[in-house]
Amino acid sequence: MGNVINFAHRGASAYCPENTLAAFIRSLELGATGIETDVQLTKDGELVLIHDETLMRTTDGQGWVKNTTLEEIRTLDAGSWYDPSFKGQRVPTLDELFELVKERNIIINVELKNGAVIYEGLEEKVIERIRAYGLSEQVILSSFNHYSLALCKQIAPDIQTGILYMEGLYEPWEYARTLRADALHAYHFAVYPEFVASAKGHGMVYHPFTVNDPEEMQRLIQAGVAGIITDYPDRLAALLQTTTNV
C-alpha cells in the first residue's frame, strides 16, 4: 500500500494556482510521487499546461488557448486569480515540467485536453517531447477522448495510457483492453474493491480522481488502487505513511 502513487492534481492545487510551476514544486515538497497536469496546443503549435480551453478562469487573458500564441500566453498572469501572492506565475510549457522532473523518480500523468477542441497532432507532439526527455517509463497519458488514447498506443505502444471516465462504465477493464490501455482513471465513486480485483486480474490498475477526503482516500487504499489523484498530496502522503507503518 505504501507504493500507491500520490498524484498531485494539477500540482498542489489546494495550495497554489493550478498547473503552475509553483503548484508542481509545492506538490513535491508535500510528498507527491506523481503529478497530474493538462496539456493543450497554442495557436502556433506549442504545448502548454492549462486545464480550460479558454484563458479567462486561470489567467488575466481572454479567448481560447487555440487562438493564442505561446508568446502571448507567456505574458499572462496565471497566479493572481488564486491569491495576490502568486502574481507573476505563468502558464508553463510541457518542457518546463519535464525539466523539473527529469532527474526525479516522479510519475507524470499528462491529460490530453482534446475533447471540446480537437488539436491536430497533439498526440504526436506530446510523445515526441516524452521521448526527447527520456521519460517514456515515467509518463501516463490519459484522456476522456479515447480515440486519442488509441492513437497514442498506435504511435507509442510502450507508453502507458489511462482511460478517464465517470461512473457507470460496465466492466471498464474489458473496454479498456480494446484500447490496449494500462490504467483506469475513474471518478472515485466508481471504484469498489471487487472492481479493483477484477481489473488486476486483467492486468489493469486504478488511479481514481479527484480524492480530497481522507476517509475516501483510506477506502480506496484499502480497496487496492495503484494511485490516487488529489488536490492535497500532503493528506495522502500522511495516510500512506501511517498505512506503511502499521
As a three-state string, the secondary structure of the chain is CCCCEEEEECCCCCCCCCCCHHHHHHHHHCCCCEEEEEEEECCCCCEEECCCCECCCCCCCCCEHHHCCHHHHCCCCCCCCCCHHHCCCCCCEHHHHHHHHCCCCCEEEEEECCCCCCCCCHHHHHHHHHHHCCCCCCEEEEECCHHHHHHHHHHCCCCEEEEEECCCCCCHHHHHHHCCCCEEEEEHHHCCHHHHHHHHHCCCEECCECCCCHHHHHHHHHHCCCEEEECCHHHHHHHHHHHHHC
Residues acting as catalytic residues: 9, 51
Sign of CA dihedral 158, 173, 33, 19: positive
Biggest alpha carbon distance in the chain?
Answer: 53
